[in-house]
Structure 1
Amino acid sequence: MAAVTPSAIFRSLKSRNFKLYFAGQSISLIGTWMQRLAVSWLVYDVTHSAFLLGLVMFAGQIPALILSPYGGAVTDRHSRYKILLITQIASMVQAGLLAAMILGGFYSTTGVILLSILLGCINAFDIPSRQSLMIELIDDKKDLPNAIALNSSMVNLARLIGPVVAGLLISWVGEGMCFLINTITFIFVIGSLLMIKIEPRKIEKTRQSVWKGLNEGYQYLKTKPDLSLMIILMACISFSLMPIITLLPIFAKDVFKGNASTLSYLEGAMGLGALGGAIFLAGAKKLKNLPKTIVFSIFIFAGSLLFFSFIPWLGLSLIFLLFSGIGQMIQISGSNSFIQTHVDDNMRGRVISYFAMAFQGMMPIGSFIAGFSANHIGPQNTVIIQSGLGLITATVFYFLLKKVRLKVVFNERTALRENPEFLI
């Protein structure tokens, strides 16, 4: 791999539109991660129920499983830019309602669940439009993999900062202020989107139903075994390993006998590791055998969580969470980059919607089961089972990818699918 230089890492920021998007989103995402931590801590702190915590996470994510394919089909038929602008405004309203409920002293677990469902429905359209829009924001299409990885770096820097700020705010003034700040931060991303100037892309007019178009995406994936495997792999990992986020409030409060600040340390450690993984991919001008790297990252992700489950000391546990964050982000961002650079543009939204369904849709099922399991056998034993499933998944896909005989050369010039042997 070529040496990582600052110019290589930030090369996609040469594009004005992407620079504006990057700036606004950087601020908004800090608020988003503040809200995520505040919601999970609020629910568990009030109810002391791992089951209800899992249920809230389930409610916020399950709409992606149902609506993401539809959202992707809509994205391919309409302006991705306008859809993203609408979803950001809707997300701002959702955060405002949550802030009003908590600051007004009207806490209700049912209310939190309903607002989580609303946000999940918004995200079902937000994610396909956001990911599909990326290629329209950069001037040089060769910089797409870098833009995706840099976007992941931004997400994880916010994931590092947001929980730390939220932990401090909760200790001082309560969860409601986190929701209010998140509402305010949406002003920045909405403002940046309004400043972006994008040439309207040519959208092929069709009278076929959205669901028929969605079926075309499915038929397309049947002819692309490499893309299909990546999406299935994402679904398996989202089900088995990603729900660790749901269990972190339980570890913070019951295992490490801490408070909201303790939870912010746990999430911050994963965020720091994920930031490192994203920067690694952002600086990679040339990365051979990307699928091999993705599978290896899953071994790191699952193995680190396995060690984490046995550690009763907070300081040491943070180290293993850091490594789990590295593995997690290389797997997510690497899979996203692979799909983005190998899908035909007219199918981009539909394929990404399946990826979003695998990523966001399987996680709620895993979160619900994880919460139920933690209620009965404890969070440590639950993580042991999750890690075992992750290691099994990585092993199985090691041989599946080898069977497909896929070899990828991933660089800034092109991403080519070649027929020769895939030496994984």
Structure 2
Amino acid sequence: MRNPFRALASANYRRYWLGQSVSLLGTWLQQVAMGWLAWRLSGSPALLGLIGFCANAGVLVLGPFAGVLVDRIDRRRALWTTQCLAAVQAGGLAALTLAGRIEVWHLVALALALGAISALDLPLRQALQAELVGDRTLLPNAIALNSLSFNVARALGPALAGALVAALGEGVCFALNALSYVAVLAALARIDWPPPPPRAPPVPFAEHWREGLRYARDFAPLAAALGLLAPLSLAVGPYATLMPVVAREVYGGGPHTLGWLLSAAGAGAIAGTLALAARERSSGYERIAAASALAAATGLLGLAAEPPYALALGMMMLIGGGMMTTAAALNSLLQTVVEPRLRGRAMSLYVLAFAGVFPLGALMSGLLAGHFGVQATLALAGLGALAVVLHYLRRLPRLSARLAGEYRRLDLDG
């Protein structure tokens, strides 16, 4: 085990990480407040699923093409653009809510706008990490720290959002998220950006896109990672969409209960990603992903059994910790072994598998919960996640053998 914050020795990455950490807290304030507002306006689990679908539909539809753009455009300018657009989206949401004019269709439209922005922003930020850190051996630690900041915000944000919604209303959370982007833009202004890599000869967009798909099909570590992450995200990812229903109908609570349930998931994710950040080795992430995915499936099945509230918090820790540690472990694995010239396209497929399938799961879970109840929906999702993990475990020995060869080729520990 080593210093879990060693990647912050890179000044560029440190500035980026601090700015993103502030913004992520605002993102969680908005996400929780948006879910609660949708539930308050409609009382419909199906609408919660629709909002979750819209917020990520852009990643699902545009994600496979966004990676080609990331490999072809000026990433610094693109990141400036996405952050400014996200600030405008949050500001519009705040203005409508504080003015008392917010309606359900506003939530749907603004969620769709955020999804379109995220389609480019997410793979862009993933691909930029390698450039900002500089030292390849620090890249897994930087990825773990990025996940850690996400999960710290995930632990603190919902509880804070619950208190703010109860005291001041949802509009304040949206306004604070809009302000949080100032930290990101200030950090981007201070980064000493490395010179862009030499431009390759122009290649048709469609050919670049097909090349990325062929790489995902033929490169076994990428294919295996996507094969675990996509169905697991479909089954486990939408659990947060149903939490307003669980908080109100299962445990008889309000915004505070919702905040603590989601914060428990964040606390579990902090523990998992902090352990990843402290790892010495560059290998073994495929096995960590298997164990973490199994923990997420177990937690989901436990929550479906409608346990006492204290035990439900423990199940949420397993779900959040398992899901986020799986994603972070696979991210570290891929960023280490993929070809640099294909990183944007590879990471766009990773984002598609992690966040892009979420809208389908959110939509399905909302519809199922509306017809069969939230506990039956959680149980079905848990069984699906367990089946996915068992299939991955069957492929694990061959995957580990292939990765050992990749680590030797890259002169990393294996």
| Distance of aligned partners of 1:249 and 1:409 in 2 relative to their CA distance in 1, 3 Å threshold | farther
Distance 2:184 2:237 in 1: 27
**Of 100, 116, 126, which aligns to 2:111?**
116
Q: Detail structure 1 runs of 4+ shifted over 6 Å in the superposition.
A: none
**Of 234, 239, 244, which aligns to 2:234?**
239
Number of the residue aligned with 2:223: 228
Number of the residue aligned with 2:314: 319
1:388-407 → structure 2 map (5 Å cutoff): 388-404=383-399, 406=401
Q: Give the alignment's TM-score, normalised by structure 2.
A: 0.96
CA apart distance, 1:262: 0.6
**Of 9, 26, 36, which aligns to 1:31?**
26
Number of the residue aligned with 1:248: 243
| Distance of aligned partners of 1:312 and 1:306 in 2 relative to their CA distance in 1, 3 Å threshold | same
CA apart distance, 1:313: 2.1
- The structure that is helix-richer by fraction is 2
Matched to 2:347, the amino acid is I
Distance 2:190 2:398 in 1: 47
Distance 1:326 1:20 in 2: 26
CA RMSD of superposed structures (Å): 1.7
| Distance of aligned partners of 1:379 and 1:323 in 2 relative to their CA distance in 1, 3 Å threshold | same
Q: Which secondary structure state, in structure 1, belongs to the residue aligned with residue 237 of structure 2?
A: coil
Contact 2:298–2:318 (8 Å) recurs in 1: no
1:50-199 → structure 2 map (5 Å cutoff): 50-199=45-194
| Distance of aligned partners of 1:204 and 1:56 in 2 relative to their CA distance in 1, 3 Å threshold | same
CA apart distance, 1:290: 2.0
Contact 2:49–2:367 (8 Å) recurs in 1: yes
State whether structure 2 residue 366 is matched by structure 1 residue 371: yes
Matched to 2:55, the amino acid is G
**Of 16, 24, 29, which aligns to 1:21?**
16
Number of the residue aligned with 2:345: 350
Identical counterparts, % of pairs:
34
Contact 2:46–2:370 (8 Å) recurs in 1: yes
Matched to 1:345, the amino acid is P
Distance 1:189 1:101 in 2: 24
Distance 1:49 1:299 in 2: 31
| Distance of aligned partners of 1:112 and 1:417 in 2 relative to their CA distance in 1, 3 Å threshold | farther
**Of 298, 306, 312, which aligns to 2:301?**
306
**Of 242, 263, 267, which aligns to 1:268?**
263
Contact 2:226–2:353 (8 Å) recurs in 1: yes
CA apart distance, 1:404: 4.4
Distance 1:315 1:369 in 2: 28
Per-residue CA deviations over 1:120-177 (Å, capped at 9, x if unaligned) read: 0000000111000001111322100000001110110011111111100000010000
What 5-or-longer segments of structure 2 have no aligned partner? none
Distance 2:312 2:256 in 1: 15
Per-residue CA deviations over 1:283-319 (Å, capped at 9, x if unaligned) read: 0012653212211111111001111111342211001
Q: Give the alignment's TM-score, normalised by structure 1.
A: 0.94
